[in-house]
Structure 1
Amino acid sequence: LARWLRALIKDFGLAPSASQRGLLARLLPELGDAQAMVHEDDLTRLTHALSSVLNDALVRGLRTVLVDDLQFADAASVELLRALIAASRCSWVVATRPHELGPAARSLVDGLERSAEVSSLVLQALQADEVAELLASLEIDGIGSAAQAESLQQRTGGNPLYLLETLKAALMSAPAGRALAPAGSATQDHAWPSAPNVTRLIQQRLMRLSPLALRVARCAAVAGQDASAALVAQVLGVRPLDLADAWGELEDAQVLRAGAQGEGRFAHDLIAEATLASVPHAIAQPLHGEVAAWLEQMQGEPARIASHWLATRQPLRAVPALNQAALKARAAWRLEEAATLHRQAAVILRDAGHRREAFDAYFAAANVLALVAVDARLAELRDEMQALAEDDGQHAMLAVLQELLLVEARCHDEAWSVTLRAIPQARRAGLPEIEAELYWAQAVLHWLRRELADAVRRVEQALALLKPIPPEHRLLRVHDTELKLIQALGMFLGASGRYEQSNTHYLEALSQATRSNHLRHCADVERALAKNALEQGLPAQALRWATAAVGHLDGLVIQNRIETAAIELHASVLAAAGRLGEALALYERVERLSVPGMSSNLVHPLARRAVFLHQLGRRDLAVKALRALHGDGKLLVAERALVDAALLAVGEPADAGAVLEQVGVIDDFPLRAAILCLVRRACDPAAVLPLLGVSLATARESGAHGLWLSLQVQRVAALRAAGRADEAAAAALIAWQRIGEGLSGRDLLPELAAELFAALAVSHTDLAAVIALRASAWMQSAASTLPPGWRNNYLQRSPALAVLQRPMLPAPGD
């Protein structure tokens, strides 16, 4: 990517801006001092800078970009290339050897091939007639007959590279001053050089080089990507000027090609492989050591320095370079790569008997891997660390990983036991940061059980432990523990209905996340602020925060299931605003991010998605989704109550009495209100009305006006079901007045209107008709945003229609 960028700037006379130069200097050091990359959104900024330079080249006439040998690109370059291709307006040609692609390049190629706008051309082996055309185009004396083409096709299999290399070998073996047998002569069926494979063929060419040229080529082959005239001169113990003739000989022989920065690049990889194969192992080993030592002096690429030390069979000398490479990868937010490098260092240290250093390296690997995924790879690291753990501190650090894995597996009781054992160990070992992380783990477990007071206490304990530790000295600084603790306080206070205090903590967390350019944290805090606004009945604020959250998520290079809550909330806000098509697209995204597996942060978004599908008239899809959730044997009490309530809301059987009992022990007011609104229709009015009354009072006191509206409408329905028609009508009038004033929450207007219509149809016939008309107009407008099939379902099968379209009863006395 660096060579491409350098050529683009030079060939089109581009002048990147000062801000762009700081970013692009990470690829081209000659542009000046490079800006440090601290978080994953810095990678996004680099991508934007590259896109801007590419767009400038387009203005100056660039039309097509050709990328050759994609198989050699590293994962970071491939990810940048993916973003450039997606954002640019020019044509792209990408050439590669499919069987040599790494995972990142394979993913890019597979994605491109799935696009209808991309044409994929697979180059087939040349047939005899095509070989003849190629030979004719070369215009070489004595080459071009049909017999020669046939024999070349048979000998090379029609591989153009093998064919051309065979021709080169034949020309080099011909007597000086004489052409090959002319076409049509008795010797036209030329005896091509006997080469069982191209490597051997190239090695024969190499043996014809002068001794110094061959030494230069072999040294360059050992050095690999870092080969340069300066390096080769240092390793061979000569002055760079002494290499001039040999270097020119290699370029003339098309072994090396000229590089703009003095690098020694082979004409193609087969020559490099053949040259390296010609170096005896006993010689290559010390050469790798000399190359590594020189690169260390020149502050070369740490990962390649490590590979050279490993080739010398001195693995311990590779450990510092591996750690540096891991830190560099982590700084560029290539977390999986960083984890792999840390783990490689850990294995070397473990095998060398350095147990403590090995444990620390394993922990560093787990530390960054946990930001990507809590899966089998993290479990493997835990197992390897377990064999090394000896003292209290190491056992406490190990417990941090064990707790993560247990929570992901939804084994919450076991996770709690692990933290109880580990906190005293961390305290005895003098590791306050690990102790704080374990308190944070306990806070999460309390939250999952909706034990808010205990969760708040654990967060406060963790913050007190972290406060004296400078951020730069923290083992877990990449996790932004303090930020997530402040955010957690906001979440717990919001669940208690203390919205003003909750928003204060959220805004503090957002300020920290913004200062550190941490997009994922920004998105999560903005989601939480949107949720509070929605519950308070502030739709404009909710939409603004939700849009900002999803916008930040779209800027992430890596996305995973963690984003489902933010995406679902944005969908809910859009749905309440009548933008059903956009909401549906986001809910489909929620489903994609939720596969495979189940996690505690997925149950709530998936349950709400199912309810939304039911509201659109697809009860079948809603039931299927809810049954899948219900089949999870590890649901927590609050999750089970939500899923059962949703099943009852879509007309499926469940134990409504058990749900009401569970509601009483859930210390999370917004969740309690949501479950009550779902389960109401399946409950005995006498049982649910007191709970609705208490919740309405809480909503009024806490300023949760959006939740109040949902609860008030459900109270209307419960009063009507209890035969208390006058009270139902009075409550309905209050609710409709607030709707007229612009109050809204999570509910779709037709769902609210249906209950109010039913309560007012007899006593307030004209108003009921107005409500029905307004609901119908809302549905028509909202349906226009849906795809045709979904539009028809919504307008014909929405549950609200069962009430809104029935004949109104005559008012008393008519």
Structure 2
Amino acid sequence: MRRRRPWCSVALWGYEMKSRETLRPGNGVTAAPGTLVGRRDALDAFAATVGATREHGFRLLTVAGEPGAGKTRLLAELATIAREHGLTPLWGRAAEFEQLMPFSALVDALDDHLEARCDELAGRLDPAQARRLATVFPALAAKAPHPEPDAGPGDRSGMVRYRLYRALRQLIDELAAPGGLALILDDVHWADDGSAEFLDHLVRHPPRGPVLVTLAYRPAQVTPRVAALAHIAGGYGNQVTVGPLDLAEVEAFLGPGVNRARARALYEASGGNPFYLEALARMSRLEVDDLPATVRAALRVELGDLSPASLLVAQAAAVTADEFEPALAAVAAQVEPAAALDALNELVARDIVRAAAGGRFRFRHPLVRQAVYESAAAGWRLAAHGRLAARLAELGAPATVRARHYERAGSFGDRRAAATLVEAARAVAPQAPVTAAHWLRKALDLMPDEPATLEERLELLMELSRAQGVSGRLVEGRDTARELLRLLPPGDHARRARAARICALMERQLDRPHEARALLLDELRRMPDPRAAEAVPLRMRLVAESMMRVDFRAAQAVLDLMPDSADDWEPGIAMAVAALRPMPAYAAGRVAEALRSADAADRLVGVALDDHLAEWLDAVAWLCWAETYLGRCSAALRHFDRAEAVARATGQTYILTNLLAGRARTLVVLGRLPEALETAEESVEGARLLNSGQQLVFALTQLCLAAALSGDSGAAVSAGEEAVRAGVGGGEVWGTMARQALGVALAAAGRPEEATERLLEACGEAGAATPRMDHGTLLASYELLGGAAAAQGRPAEAEAWADRVAALADPLLPAFAGLVPLARAHALRGGDPGAAAALAEEAAGLLAAAERRLDAGRALLAAGLAHGEAGDRRTARERLRAAAELFRECGARALAGQAVREQRRLGVRVAPGHGGPAAGPGTGAHGLTPREEEIAALVAAGLTNGQIADRLFLSVRTVETHLSHVFAKLGVSSRVAAATKLHRPG
């Protein structure tokens, strides 16, 4: 008999739902039980999809049909087909009454299999991955490494889910080895939000091995996110619709023992729905004319044939769980365990329930459980849930298990139920914030509205608002914040200001800037002294709102009314005010003031405690972006890294995604493209989880830039087009920046006309009164437009763009000074290549000194081309070799390829994968960069790409990119060959 785990060893949600490796067709009244009738089209589609999985890898199959259409029976056939093709089928089901339990269908599908392979997987999963997965799967909880926080004091942000989803994807890849995996999930219309988010992540980042993911659902009940998966999957997806049986198929289903008249009557009454047909056919004692009008009535008739004792136990079982243990059903029914087992004998004989693994039982169909549950009196059900909650508490079951019953049995004023719901919410908040929000709301509903509970309710409302915001329920989070404002006393200005600021932040995420501004102004008017310390947070948020609208004059006007510090200010406010000052000064062209303000803010942020940073992260984010725009990239990166860690620890996901986007942009400028891609990808995932259009545009813009410069022009254009297509942020900075990034991506993709059109639009040359982006990006765009004009044989136009670059450049910003001679070099290259070469060399030196490594590489490339055209082939080859090496170190594959092609055109023999004929400075053996050496060593040690990604905090995609470079430089095509060559002496 299978070992049972105690409640205390159960992981995140603690509720065991065990999978089956094979599917058993339902028992029916057919002439040949278990024989599938009809469905040839579906079976052919199944076979084709399984074959495609074996041959090409990941596939998504969706099976849609109305309740009782026979989806589960078809999944049994799919499991058989998958097994015949060498895939391991694992099957799980979501349940209606447990749909808040996090990842229930995945646990149902995988947990038994994981227990059998636990020891094997232990050596293949990184300890951090194992810890994350142990929060989901009971089978892994007992053998998981000792829990350690992911970062610092712990990560409370919604990005914990992103890392968990990556771990789940890696787990699926591991389970797919060596023959492939068919993950079959039934009834996903009842899946929790975490499962839906993970499936979305899995489709967008498919497993590498032969993995078939099949989702069966009711189309009228499925969430839009799950319904959209087939569309998102594109060529990887296939959808099968399960319709009703026709009359001939119904006759075959019923068999020769049913005459044609009765078969037709049953067909008409059931509409060809197999489950309804089976339920009606069971009523053989009735004449056809006496059939009830609905199948619900037919199920009631079926239940009416049970003895009272068996019906009671069936109702108790329906209250207990989708897959239940007899002992708990006995508690709910208030009968002795022996009596419950006697009743189960009758229920199994009548095919109401069926035996499952480990001495548990399950209803033959979710509709049967629903009918049994609804057949019980409402008051009795309430008491049964209460008895189960009490018994589970005695057994030491986690709060997450008890919460499901307390939310149904808890009565108004029941402090024990409320406390359990709060405890359960806090336990699941990092991985399942939707469930956490649901339980927090239930706890609040149980609390009496009285002065004694006010403080506790206010605290829970703040927690609820955060959980709703993190989970992407921004409207609900905003409404909760407004509810909090209504409850706060009119004179509690400090807390009211904090709540109003949070509410305004959420309005901003919802792309409702006018509502955000109105809320802030209204709260300011309520204050007797608008210059008091309590008003500062509201004024600071107004500054941020003005800057987002590119109304820097309004932002400066508010800042001018605020001192740098005051005796009655809380710790951290002076730092936050200082952090806001650089951006409007920079935007207004007061560069010297912006630099002084940045220095002052840098000093205050450096000595500020993390607690103070946490309170004002939105202000600190403006400092980080301003430093990037000012060309102070090292300082910006330092502040981005610290703010990111604080945002994770305090759960401020709506700011974290913005910080990640800014960090990605800074890394692009510094030429650290693999890190930039990783960071931008995480920002995009966070924005999708957050469901914020604004943050998604921010993130996609940076992903577009990083991918374009990395050489993945297809992904870059796709990200840029999605950012522009989002249609949010019209007239604001971030909408314009998305268009500029798309222009860069189109240029990298070899679409110069479209690129020029987008860049002109972003630069305000297509009707806008003034450009709505920072001067540095505008200056860089002018330089790109000049280069494009020169490449297309329009030197006069290139010269005009160079003049604009020179006019816009500021001597106080040396980070951008190198773009001036580079733009001049573009314009002169056709007519005076020697002068162009000299200017490009000057540009390369200035840009390298300013840490703009990619731009320095572009300048070296321009210098090499110009030297070649001027006849100085030796210098041309040197500059091109240096450019190729620099691009390779930065991860700019397309630019490195261009430099290599130009080298070959000049007669240089360049080995595949090398940026030049010899390894450049700073590279190791075989010409590998330090990062490539690190990854190669881990490959040689036997680590998978996923394990390497987790260890080095990179994406799997980034690891794969580095590994392709390693293979090319080593001249090998496999991991084994790479390890052999690295270990070979000399």
Q: Under a length normalisation based on structure 1, what TM-score does the superposition of the two structures give?
A: 0.69
Task: Assess if the C-alpha contact under 8 Å between 1:713 and 1:752 holds in 2.
Answer: no
Give the alignment of 1:757-772 within 5 angstroms.
none
Q: CA deviation at 1:150?
A: 1.7
State which of 250, 253, 277 in structure 2 corresponds to 1:134.
Answer: 253
Does residue 158 of structure 1 match 2:295?
Answer: no
Quick one: distance in 1 between partners of 2:626 and 2:170? Answer: 43
Q: CA deviation at 1:395?
A: 0.9
Partner of 2:193: 75
Partner of 2:922: none
Give CA deviations for 1:552-582 in whole Å, capped at 9, x if unaligned: 45776737653655654565466567x4xx2
Give CA deviations for 1:265-302 in whole Å, capped at 9, x if unaligned: 32212221221222122322323332333344443463
Give CA deviations for 1:111-151 in whole Å, capped at 9, x if unaligned: 45xx3444433222222211111122xx7xxx143333222
Quick one: distance in 2 between partners of 1:515 and 1:381? Answer: 22
- Matching residue's letter, 2:299: I
Task: Assess if the C-alpha contact under 8 Å between 1:326 and 1:342 holds in 2.
Answer: yes
Partner of 1:393: 494
State which of 359, 381, 385 in structure 1 corresponds to 2:480.
Answer: 381
Task: Assess if the C-alpha contact under 8 Å between 1:126 and 1:160 holds in 2.
Answer: yes
Aligned length: 697
Task: Assess if the C-alpha contact under 8 Å between 1:65 and 1:93 holds in 2.
Answer: yes
State which of 609, 614, 619 in structure 1 corresponds to 2:742.
Answer: 609
Give the alignment of 1:136-285 within 5 angstroms.
136=255, 143-170=257-284, 173=285, 191=288, 194-225=291-322, 227-285=324-382
Give CA deviations for 1:215-259 in whole Å, capped at 9, x if unaligned: 111122233448432323333444433422112222222222223
Q: CA deviation at 1:164?
A: 1.3
User: Aligned pair in 2 of structure 1 residues 231, 454: CA closer, same or farther (>3 Å)?
Assistant: farther
Give the alignment of 1:349-748 within 5 angstroms.
349=447, 354-371=453-470, 376-390=475-489, 391-404=492-505, 405=507, 409-410=512-513, 423-424=533-534, 432=570, 439=577, 442=580, 446=584, 449=587, 451=594, 453-454=596-597, 457=600, 466-467=609-610, 491-505=625-639, 523-524=660-661, 526-533=663-670, 541-550=671-680, 552-553=682-683, 558=689, 561-562=694-695, 564=697, 568-569=701-702, 571-572=704-705, 579=711, 582-583=712-713, 585-594=715-724, 595-598=726-729, 600-610=733-743, 613=746, 619=753, 623=757, 643-644=763-764, 647=765, 652=766, 670-671=776-777, 673-674=779-780, 677=783, 692=806, 695=809, 697-698=811-812, 702=814, 704=815, 707-714=816-823, 733-736=838-841, 745-746=854-855
Partner of 1:639: none
Quick one: distance in 2 between partners of 1:201 and 1:526? Answer: 62
Partner of 1:32: 141
User: Aligned pair in 2 of structure 1 residues 461, 511: CA closer, same or farther (>3 Å)?
Assistant: closer
User: Aligned pair in 2 of structure 1 residues 447, 133: CA closer, same or farther (>3 Å)?
Assistant: farther
Give CA deviations for 1:34-76 in whole Å, capped at 9, x if unaligned: 6578455554554455455545554465654433322332222
Task: Assess if the C-alpha contact under 8 Å between 1:382 and 1:398 holds in 2.
Answer: yes
- Matching residue's letter, 2:667: A
Q: CA deviation at 1:756?
A: 10
Task: Assess if the C-alpha contact under 8 Å between 1:166 and 1:192 holds in 2.
Answer: no
Task: Assess if the C-alpha contact under 8 Å between 1:549 and 1:566 holds in 2.
Answer: no
Q: CA deviation at 1:17?
A: 1.0
- Matching residue's letter, 2:380: I
Q: CA deviation at 1:162?
A: 1.3
Partner of 2:241: 122
User: Aligned pair in 2 of structure 1 residues 91, 202: CA closer, same or farther (>3 Å)?
Assistant: same
- After the TM superposition, which of the residue ranges 296-305 and 321-330 deviates more from structure 2? 296-305
Partner of 2:184: 66
Quick one: distance in 2 between partners of 1:719 and 1:61? Answer: 60
- After the TM superposition, which of the residue ranges 280-289 and 453-462 deviates more from structure 2? 453-462
Partner of 1:99: 220
Partner of 1:302: 400
- Percent identity between matched residues is 20
Q: CA deviation at 1:5?
A: 0.8
Give CA deviations for 1:578-605 in whole Å, capped at 9, x if unaligned: x4xx235314313313403116444324
CA RMSD after TM alignment? 5.5
Quick one: distance in 1 between partners of 2:494 and 2:649? Answer: 32
Q: Specify the structure having the higher radius of gyration (Cα).
A: 1
Quick one: distance in 2 between partners of 1:17 and 1:25? Answer: 11
Q: CA deviation at 1:530?
A: 1.9
- Matching residue's letter, 2:194: A
Q: Which has the higher contact order (CA 8 A, sep 6+)?
A: 2
- Matching residue's letter, 2:679: A
Give the gaps of 5 or more residues in structure 2. Answer: 1-105, 525-529, 538-565, 589-593, 787-794, 885-892, 899-986
Partner of 1:4: 109
User: Aligned pair in 2 of structure 1 residues 603, 512: CA closer, same or farther (>3 Å)?
Assistant: same
State which of 286, 307, 312 in structure 1 corresponds to 2:383.
Answer: 286
Task: Assess if the C-alpha contact under 8 Å between 1:303 and 1:321 holds in 2.
Answer: no
Partner of 2:78: none
Partner of 1:805: none
